[in-house]
Structure 1
């Protein structure tokens, strides 16, 4: 039987790229997200299965998990940022939405699929967090707070599963240019979204992060990559980005 990988947030960005990459490694991938039209197209292309799931809705997640007989790998990629306002004027509803998808979404899916992950010869949980989980920046308090919480969940889960054959891996990307992340954050303001990556020579792509997931998952089951921080070469730290050419073209 093919190994089964469940990927949330699989309708776009890192989730979609990860689903395709794990399928390449021979996994039967179950793609979970809300936009089922996008899921269907990708699932058909990679030979996976699409499932409409709202990770912020516990009942939706439970119903989904009941249809998953076995799960070898779970990648929690569903997430996102809203707004870049200072704390003084930040919108509480944006904070609530970010916590709902990044933190509670991860919690709902982990809780629902942990029995399947622990049932076989060994399972793997991969949580996609962010370098914002460790370093704060102006205008990013809500997103950073949510990612700090997701990091805390991940680290605590690893401690609590010690002694069981389930790996818990955290992949923390820095600057990744995808079609939707910054555009969603700035509510469709394309100019503001593009400015984030202006003159940065080769920000990470979703496929770059997917390669990191495949690398960590593909190691022997007794090898646990606790945390993998990955940034483009142009980004030395969360707050230090070089804008200009780095490579000959």
Structure 2
């Protein structure tokens, strides 16, 4: 079953084309990695999947009634804002505008604590977010998305600026969540995501979609990035050997 279908999606910002005729079908339970250069349209694609922007042409269809869980880059999160971990997670339960002195239901608090316990962050539920490490904050943002009970989770650069151990911990967590959720990850970290994903899409305004083939080769990556690319494995992180393959008929 396809949980998301993108058909002939094109997005223009004035005279600038951000996405050009994108087609992809994402199966329920899939772990999809999306890679590509800066300015290649990854953020625009995420916003299209989330329904935050309207396409110039084409369609995005989500075959599920539940909201999509979204985890932004934690580097874009204001860590100086005076708010506790528990409150950040509970914000995921709010719909529409936030009201001052909003009081959360006991069931919401219980659910937040259950999620924190499952992610091993319950011990610092009353800690200010400014006191968290990057890996801890990323777990908090994942918990905020999980409290909506989404079927699909989209994560934008979830391990940016994290050390190797923290990266491995986050991806192991995502693989665990993938047991009953569809996971879509945007990342520049080719060597790491290739150890965990089921499928990969290379995006640079147009899309190279590889389906079940996760063997990314230099030729494909260089055609997407427009420059020479080195494939690097990170430390002791498990990795696949990346074989060179040819594009079939120049498909994108």
TM-score, length of structure 1 as denominator length: 0.32
TM-score, length of structure 2 as denominator length: 0.31
Say which structure is richer in helix.
Answer: 1
Q: Report the structure number with the largest CA radius of gyration.
A: 2
The structure with higher relative contact order (CA 8 Å, sep 6+) is 2
